[in-house]
Amino acid sequence: MAAALLNKTCGEFFEAQSAGLEPGTINPLVVEALHELGIDVSKNTTRRVFDVWKSGQIFQFVVTVCSEAEAEGCPIFIALINPDLCRQLDVARAICLRFPVGVTS
């Protein structure tokens, strides 16, 4: 859901991907809620985060959401901080916050 919302609101700045500890099915309530916002995830599939990690794909940002109980199962991503990229993120975040999902100007 978060990846779909980020791609909708800030798709010109980010390409968000989503993965979980174990593949499953997308919650039908999520599909319905996103559909109401004009986002179709009905054909999306789920992926294991370890499959994404093993692919060797390079990410500029990784956002993890793990409970304390799940923390042992979460992979560790090594990050290098790029100051220019951080400045770009501040600009993108300001634009995204100004134009939230569902609001048109």
Q: Which pTM does this prediction carry?
A: 0.63
* pLDDT for residue 19 is more than 80: yes
Look at residues 103, 12, 29, 18 and name the one whose alpha carbon lies nearest to residue 62. Answer: 18
Q: Tell me which DSSP letter residue 71 carries.
A: G
Locate 41 and state its tokens. 């995830």
pLDDT, position 34: 93
Provide the residue type at 83 as one letter: P
Task: Show me where the domains of the chain are located.
Answer: 2-98
Q: What is the pLDDT of residues 65-87, one digit of tens each?
A: 666 666 676 666 655 555 555 55
Provide the residue type at 80 as one letter: L
* pLDDT for residue 94 is more than 60: no
pLDDT, position 4: 92
Look at residues 31, 21, 36, 10 and name the one whose alpha carbon lies nearest to residue 102. Answer: 36
pLDDT top residue among 96 and 26: 26
Q: Tell me which DSSP letter residue 72 carries.
A: G
